[in-house]
Amino acid sequence: MTTRWTAVPALRDRTAGRCLTAVVVSGFGTSALWLASGVWVKDLTGSDGLAALCMLAMWLPTLAGPVLGTLADRHRRRPLLVTLSLCMAALLLTLCTVDAPSELWLLYAVLFVYGAAGTVHDAAESALVAGAVDRSLLGDFNGLRMTANEGMKLLAPLAGAGLYTAYGGPGVAVLDAASFLAAALVYVSLRVREERPEPARDGGRSATAEGVRHLWGDPALRPLVLAGGVTMLCAGVSGALTYAVVEDLGHSPAYAGVLYAVQGAGSVTVGLLSGPGLRRLGARRFAGYGIGLLAVAVALRAVPYDPVAWACAAAIGVGLPAALIAVLTEVQRRTPGPLLGRVTATANALVFTPNVIGLAAGAGLVELLGHRTQLTGLGAALGVTAAVLLGQRPASADRTEARSASDASPA
């Protein structure tokens, strides 16, 4: 089995390269808005609770992922991505009118639509890439996509904060609108051949259930997605304990930025190496080893020693994305093209929704249990998850792999 590093060929692939460009430009605006929207609400109202609702508004549509993903299978993916990007660019400009607490309903409404459009966008983009990029490059593409996203998380919040300070929330909204417009132009430039999707023979509910059935019925995808959901749940709880960890280290809350930067560097690294790792280990073992590394790192966060904290942050940055990249790549490889939008959105809902639940649970439990007790328990839970995933017998999954590869005919 080859282990060569094929990130460069993935970048040279015209479709993959341009999709990554769209990820970078739209991700920059999205990351800036995530930070600015909460600050914007806080400045207008002085309420931490109302500011936190911004994140909830953007995440809530993820729960409807199986339904929203159906839209990505009902239409050709490239025109859908162009339309979504242009609509979001126009919608974001309406935020320029928000300058009083009584107008915050518009901000929440736009953020909710933003989250819904993002769910459809991610499903359509995943399906487009799976049908247009060589299957051997999917792991490299998803790793580079992770690297691009993490890079934007390191740079965009600083740019968004500076822009917000200079021009307020409307300035950040205009930046995000411009990023969507640029992404739309990139998608227009793609040259991919897509067949028109067949008309739905059943009702919407049946079509949605078809994607869920495929995901749940695949003996390789089901445990991988469930492990991803448990991992993100634990990661959410661990993330909510960050400021308690920083306080235990004897630093000010701003020190959390140092740990996030180290974690981001780890994520960038694993993104670049994921292609060879997936080819050598396979998705199940790649995810399992990543979750195992995450288990050790989360548990050791309870040790109040700076070098240990840095090492744990870097290890979390490597281990957590490894599981996410493995899930997305395996969904793309094992799902027939006409179902890929629904299955991707369903998998994303099952994996990422627990993260929000974990953040809320961690914030509520930190005063009751203390962060060291929680981190130790989370490390144990992640260790069990990794062991279960690695202990899965690959035989049945391999047989399904052979069958799915022949059945998968991308739209």
3-state SS, one letter per residue, for the chain? CCCCCCHHHHHHCHHHHHHHHHHHHHHHHHHHHHHHHHHHHHHHHCCHHHHHHHHHHHHHHHHHHHHHHHHHHHCCHHHHHHHHHHHHHHHHHHHHHCCCHHHHHHHHHHHHHHHHHHHHHHHHHHHHHHHHCCHHHHHHHHHHHHHHHHHHHHHHHHHHHHHHHHHHHHHHHHHHHHHHHHHHHHHHHCCCCCCCCCCCCCCHHHHHHHHHHHHHHCCCHHHHHHHHHHHHHHHHHHHHCHHHHHHHHCCCHHHHHHHHHHHHHHHHHHHHHHHHHHHHHHHHHHHHHHHHHHHHHHHHCCCCCHHHHHHHHHHHHHHHHHHHHHHHHHHHHHCCHHHHHHHHHHHHHHHHHHHHHHHHHHHHHHHHHCHHHHHHHHHHHHHHHHHHHHHCCHHHHHHHHHHHHHHCCCC
pLDDT of residue 326: 93
Name the one residue in this structure whose structure tokens are 């890079």. 151
From the first residue on, what is the mean pLDDT of each consecutive set of 10 residues in the chain (411 residues)? Answer: 52 73 80 79 78 78 83 85 93 91 91 90 84 76 79 71 83 90 89 66 63 85 93 90 86 76 85 86 93 96 93 94 91 84 86 84 76 92 95 55 33 28
CB neighbours of residue 103 within 10 Å: 12
The pLDDT score that the predictor gives to residue 400 is 39
Triad 281, 312, 260: Cα angle to 5°? 105
Burial of 128 (0-12, 13-18, 19+ CB in 10 A): buried
Q: What is the model's pLDDT at position 265?
A: 84
Q: What is the pLDDT of residue 352?
A: 87
pLDDT at 254: 65
pLDDT of residue 169: 86
Under 8 Å between Cβ of 346 and 211: yes
366, 386 in Cβ contact below 8 A?
no
Instruction: Spell 88-99 as b/e; 16+ CB within 10 A means b.
Output: bbebbbebeebe
Interior angle at CA 102, CA 96 and CA 108, nearest 5: 60
Name residue, tokens 């009118």. Answer: 97
pLDDT given at position 2: 44
